[in-house]
Structure 1
Amino acid sequence: MKYYSIIIILLTLISCDDKNAQKRKQICDSQEFIDYWYKGKAEISSYDLQQAQYGKLNKGEAIMIFVTEDFRLDKQVKLESNDKEKATPVLKLNFIKKFITGIYDYSMYTSVFTPVKTNTFPATLKVTNTNQEWCGQSFLQLNYRQNGYQLLGKSYFENEVDEESHLEHAILEDELWTKIRLLSIDQLPTGNMFMIPSMTSLRLRHRNIQAEMARISLEPYAGDSIFKGKSLIHYKIHYPESKRDLSIYFEKEFPHLIVGWAETYETKKTMLTSKAVLKVTIQNPYWEKNMAKDTVYRKLLKIKY
């Protein structure tokens, strides 16, 4: 009896140590994370973009804005009151793509809200997506509720005019970008799993919003010189059913800067690969830079559109 009591105690201690080790693995607990993400500035990156649409590649530009903020858990909006106990810090991504097709342009905007306390909140809490082009507009929103995502959608297009449903929980492609910044490389999702494709890709292809089987892998980048950075990692996502591939390229070392991506899918019966290559990254409190003189930062970021 004494022997079994000792075994139980040892197993309990090992379990506690494992839990503590997992807790220590949160990147948000590290001093380098605090120094980088909590100094009152956003990280802004600009990218040269070639976006597939209408059976051809279209020139454009992408912007990624990462910033931390307090996020209300009940209303799932930015905290602007003193109710700190109702909020948790998130890493917010505003992901903007703009490109021109012939006479008219597209503007596609996705916002992702992922808690930095990844052990306590493993799922992204909210994703919103808006798309504007000369034919019309569309809107999508996912809110994490009841162990899944509540979907709300509105669109100019008849087949997408009203969408409201509850999706079973699955990894979101849109949250991979924030998870790259919040997790150690060995904690990133890999293997075969169901994943909800990005809101932008679904709208461009006019596909229903549902999870698809995806094959996900990580490996050192061993490609050509298109993507530049220190010790790059190639994050590969393959959707066998829809024949779509996404590759994300980021730096191995913290803060895991994203240097570009490539996305292959069929448009107008032609398989094309969209690409985005990093131009410039700065840290800046952009919300304070709203005067005419502050356009200098747009020049610094080489923003054209």
Structure 2
Amino acid sequence: MRHLAASVAFSALLLACSAGPEEVKRAASGGAPVSAEFSRYWYAGQAELSRYQLQQNRYDDIHPGEAVLVFVTEDFLPTKQVKMEGGKTKETATSVLKMNQMRRFTTGIYDYSINTSVFTPVAANQFPHTFKVATSVQDWCGQTYTQLNLRRRKYHLAAHSYFQQEADQTDSLEAVTLEEELWTRLRLDPKTLPVGKLRIIPGTVAARLRHQPLRVETANAELKPYRGILFKPAQAGAALQAYTLAYSSTKRTLTIVFEQDFPYLIAGWEDTYDGQMRFGNQTYGSAKPLTTRAIRTSTLKSDYWQRHTRPDSVLRRQLGVTGFKE
């Protein structure tokens, strides 16, 4: 029986990141009937994996690294705020598009690892707000963790840090647009992206790196064709769009460049802000703005949660991500 239980548990882990067969039905019943094109791409039992060459703004300098974006659909329990993995539950799951964004970069002798997860419902007319965002930051000094959960029309914040001035925090924020959900919403339908002046909760990564508390801020957003030459589409000749978010109070600008046509693949992004970090009444770092930049180098579709053997490492080479040498 122990072997059987272990086998069942291991099977559940293999399925933990996969798209469930009921997701198309749930998305439609949730008020968001999906197209055949959408269904073929996002409900085929595979995730989309993209690797980016990263130049990260940190400590008044630009540091080399890489980023990986993982997009996949999942069945999600809105009240428990977790992925549905089977078993008995009274709660009805709904389909979400999940983004995992991973960044790895070095700063001098030591390195950083940042992971952000975003869970945005496909049925946007029934669930107009993203359910959950979680970000962890690890470096050789320690680690921090930030999570936002949508409960009773508020975003409930839980934050933990090894810094004395930050420590453990809880707060409740108005359920306005989240910066992190812009990434998933543009993949679902760029026409739903907010434009003009808007109230928004800034990105958890930028807030952590700048040691700024999360609060509702005002920003201006615009969507227009991308005319530059730095970012390129996956297919030659495909048109690109640029979504730009400009914060007035913090003088920060984020631009996400993506393909105009479905599935709206992200070609890269730029995030410009100064290096000032604030601890209480103390301010450190330079006021000179620097730009974090990520440029897509490769993309593949894979049921990666089942590709965990040593021979499967060939997929890492195809994607171009770095790793340990054998």
Give me the TM-score of the superposition, normalised by structure 2: 0.83
Match of 2:198 among 172, 188, 193: 193
Match of 1:219 among 192, 217, 224: 224
Structure 1 position 28, deviation (Å): 5.5
Provide the rounded CA distance (Å) in 2 between the counterparts of 1:147 and 1:212: 18
Counterparts of 1:63-212 in structure 2, within 5 Å, are: 63-82=68-87, 83=89, 85-183=91-189, 185-212=190-217
Maintained 8 Å contact 2:101/2:115: yes
Maintained 8 Å contact 1:56/1:272: yes
Structure 1 position 250, deviation (Å): 0.2
Q: Which residue of 2 aligns with 1:277?
A: 295
Structure 1 position 27, deviation (Å): 7.2
Structure 2 portions without partners, runs of 5+: 1-27, 276-284
The structure 1 segments of at least 4 consecutive aligned residues displaced by more than 4 Å after TM superposition are none
Equivalent position amino acid for 1:98 in 2: R
SS in structure 2 at match of 1:159: coil
After superposition, the Cα gap between the structure-2 partners of 1:28 and 1:63, relative to the gap in structure 1 and judged at 3 Å, is: farther
After superposition, the Cα gap between the structure-2 partners of 1:138 and 1:187, relative to the gap in structure 1 and judged at 3 Å, is: same
Equivalent position amino acid for 2:210 in 1: R
Q: Which residue of 1 aligns with 2:232?
A: 228
Maintained 8 Å contact 2:79/2:91: no
SS in structure 1 at match of 2:182: helix
Structure 1 window deviating more from structure 2 (127-136 vs 78-87): it is 78-87
Structure 1 position 154, deviation (Å): 0.8
Equivalent position amino acid for 1:208 in 2: P
Does 1:248 find its partner at 2:224?
A: no
Structure 1 window deviating more from structure 2 (77-86 vs 45-54): it is 77-86
Provide the rounded CA distance (Å) in 2 between the counterparts of 1:74 and 1:241: 34
Maintained 8 Å contact 1:27/1:33: no
Maintained 8 Å contact 1:28/1:116: no
Superposed CA offset, 1:123-170 (max 9, x none) = 000001100001110011100011110101111111221110110111
Q: Which has the higher helix share?
A: 1
Q: Which residue of 1 aligns with 2:278?
A: none
SS in structure 1 at match of 2:165: helix
After superposition, the Cα gap between the structure-2 partners of 1:117 and 1:190, relative to the gap in structure 1 and judged at 3 Å, is: same
Does 1:297 find its partner at 2:301?
A: no
Structure 1 position 84, deviation (Å): 8.0
Maintained 8 Å contact 1:143/1:151: yes
Q: Percent identity?
A: 46
Please tell me the root mean square deviation across aligned C-alpha atoms, in Å: 1.4
Provide the rounded CA distance (Å) in 1 between the counterparts of 2:303 and 2:72: 9
Provide the rounded CA distance (Å) in 1 between the counterparts of 2:111 and 2:231: 26
Equivalent position amino acid for 1:227 in 2: F
Provide the rounded CA distance (Å) in 1 between the counterparts of 2:59 and 2:289: 11
Superposed CA offset, 1:78-123 (max 9, x none) = 1012448521110011000110000000000000000111111110
Maintained 8 Å contact 1:195/1:211: yes
Structure 1 position 239, deviation (Å): 0.3
After superposition, the Cα gap between the structure-2 partners of 1:85 and 1:145, relative to the gap in structure 1 and judged at 3 Å, is: closer
Equivalent position amino acid for 2:251 in 1: K
Does 1:41 find its partner at 2:46?
A: yes
Counterparts of 1:52-63 in structure 2, within 5 Å, are: 52-63=57-68
Aligned pairs, how many? Answer: 279
Structure 1 window deviating more from structure 2 (99-108 vs 81-90): it is 81-90
